[in-house]
Amino acid sequence: MRNEYHHELDALVHRLAGMCDSVGSAMQNATAALCGTDPARADWVLAHEWVIDDTRRRIEEDVQQLLARQAPVATDLRVLVAALYAAESVERMGDLAQHIATAVRRRYPEPVLPVLLRGRFRDMGGIAVRLAAAAGELVRNRDLDDVQAMIARDDEVDRLHRSLFPVLSDAEWDYGVATAVDVTLLSRYYERFADHAVSVARRMAYVVTGELPQHA
């Protein structure tokens, strides 16, 4: 009985880690669609959203089953509570990738981003994808060595996000207010995506240390 239970707990953890990988792929495709010219990659993101939502629903059901049947304590209980929170954060990361894909589709065949800003969004996207992968790794191995590096990457996304506002407010901004509005929201989606990846990391830190993380 205990063995089957731990097998189910492992399966749950691997499902959560796989969900991190899925939102990483979604973000990679959404960023490629945003910074390039291939709307098919935006469509891919929109077509696969259900997989992420479905995985989250399964994780949630499994956690509740395990809580009800096994009455876990100590680390096992912390894993289950952390999985509930983390699945919520990761699903939200998927939503944000989807918002980016939707923006690309809405403006197509016009590009949403001025060419001027592509490099910056490619950088934010690259970091975001690495953060999703790092969150997945951390869920799998609970090796807290990477948490600080993740926080540093999140700070870098924040810096890139903030550095856009002077560009948009500059007198030489030639792309109009509507584009500035789009860019503002898009940048915010990357910033929130990175925040959520760090909040998954903090939850995993809590599984290991038993300390409730400060809210990011």
Task: Output the 3-class SS for the chain.
Answer: CHHHHHHHHHHHHHHHHHHHHHHHHHHHHHHHHHHCCCHHHHHHHHHHHHHHHHHHHHHHHHHHHHHHHHCCCHHHHHHHHHHHHHHHHHHHHHHHHHHHHHHHHHHCCCCCCCHHHHHHHHHHHHHHHHHHHHHHHHHHHCCHHHHHHHHHHHHHHHHHHHHHHHHHHCCCCCCHHHHHHHHHHHHHHHHHHHHHHHHHHHHHHHHHHCCCCCCC
Instruction: By CB under 8 A, name the one of 37, 64, 148, 209 that touches its own copies.
Output: 64
Q: Which of residues 3-42 bind its own copies (CB under 8 A)?
A: none
Total of chain residues touching its own copies, rule CB under 8 A: 34
Q: Binding of its own copies at residue 51 (CB under 8 A)?
A: no
Instruction: By CB under 8 A, name the one of 18, 75, 77, 108 that touches its own copies.
Output: 77
CB of 142 to its own copies, least distance (A): 18
Other Cβ atoms less than 10 A from the Cβ of 182: the count is 18
Distance from C-alpha of 38 to C-alpha of 163, rounded to nearest angstrom = 27
CB of 74 to its own copies, least distance (A): 8
Distance from C-alpha of 138 to C-alpha of 133, rounded to nearest angstrom = 9
Instruction: By CB under 8 A, name the one of 4, 109, 177, 211 that touches its own copies.
Output: 177
Instruction: By CB under 8 A, name the one of 53, 149, 159, 209 that touches its own copies.
Output: 53
Nearer to its own copies, 51 or 81 (CB): 81
CB of 13 to its own copies, least distance (A): 18
**Pattern 148-167, its own copies, x by CB under 8 A:** -----------------x--
Nearer to its own copies, 71 or 115 (CB): 71
Binding site for its own copies (CB under 8 A): 53, 56-57, 60-61, 63-64, 67-68, 71, 73-74, 77-78, 81, 84-85, 88, 91, 95, 165, 168-169, 173, 176-178, 180-181, 184-185, 188, 212, 215
